[in-house]
Amino acid sequence: MRGTPSSDDAASVEGEPAPDSGASDRAPAGSSRDVAYPAELERELAGIVERHLRLRPVRSDDAERLVAFHSRLSPGSIYRRYFAVRPLLTAQEVSHLTQVDYVDRLALVVVDAGAGDAIVAIGRYERIPATTTGEVAFVVRDDFQHLGLGHLLLDQLAQAAWARGLTKFSAVTLRENRGMIAIFEHSGFPVTTSQRDEEYYVSFSIDPAERRHASPALDPSSAE
């Protein structure tokens, strides 16, 4: 998916919130601009692989983890994400991806707690200025693809965005990226699509009342 760096379960590119377990509502040391850290978005994930996976908001101290994550993406995954060869992220890109306000710009990461919180997937939305639409993107490390993490990220990003006043998501991907397109088409949201050349555009309401059925994403609320 194109846009600010962040793409798909097959290539790329994301219940009620869990009760606050007592964690501070301030960002941990080293987090993005000392803004309120949404600890309620943290989830323990079970039943995916025999790893201790966790979903949480991104933090500024994830910079090195993000660089390591990008280095483990295949050239194909990178191309499907950026529509170009991009072997390395610039310092400016890393800063942009890890410094968020958790409202108009939010990123969620899936980390492997048994491997030093190594990032294995990341999803994000960014509000288009002066609108209630967010541009969404996500990417899953190649060895964790086809496990439902793309569905999970989209589901959790949509819930978080709706709670923060956004009403729609939009995205652009390549027509060849069938894995990404399938995530949107099977999200249960009323997806509108269009194509231009090799690009595939999607737009949809994230109003929970308009969802046709439950997302096929694994239910994080059942994971302890």
Q: What is the pLDDT of residues 167-187, one digit of tens each?
A: 999 999 888 888 889 999 999
Nearest to 56 by CA among 91, 89, 31, 81: 31
Q: Is the pLDDT of residue 32 over 90?
A: no
Q: Is the pLDDT of residue 27 over 60?
A: no
pLDDT of residue 76: 85
Count other Cβ atoms within 10 Å, centred on residue 183. Answer: 31
What distance in Å separates the CA atoms of residue 205 and residue 192, rounded to the nearest whole number?
A: 9
Q: Is the pLDDT of residue 8 over 50?
A: no
pTM of the predicted structure, to 2 decimals: 0.81
Q: Specify the CATH class of 32-222 in words.
A: alpha beta
pLDDT of residue 10: 34
pLDDT, one tens digit per residue, over 70-107 is: 999 998 888 776 666 677 889 999 999 999 999 999 99
Is the pLDDT higher at 8 or at 108?
A: 108
Q: How much is the mean pLDDT over the chain? A: 82
Q: How do the domains of the chain map onto residue ranges?
A: 32-222
Q: What is the dihedral of CA 67, 53, 174, 81, to 10 degrees?
A: 0
pLDDT of residue 48: 80
Q: In what order do the strands lie in the sheet with 199-205?
A: 43-45, 53-57, 105-112, 118-127, 133-140, 168-174, 199-205, 192-196
Amino acid 11 reads A
pLDDT of residue 50: 80
pLDDT, one tens digit per residue, over 114-161 is: 999 999 999 999 999 999 999 999 999 999 999 999 999 999 999 999
pLDDT of residue 204: 97
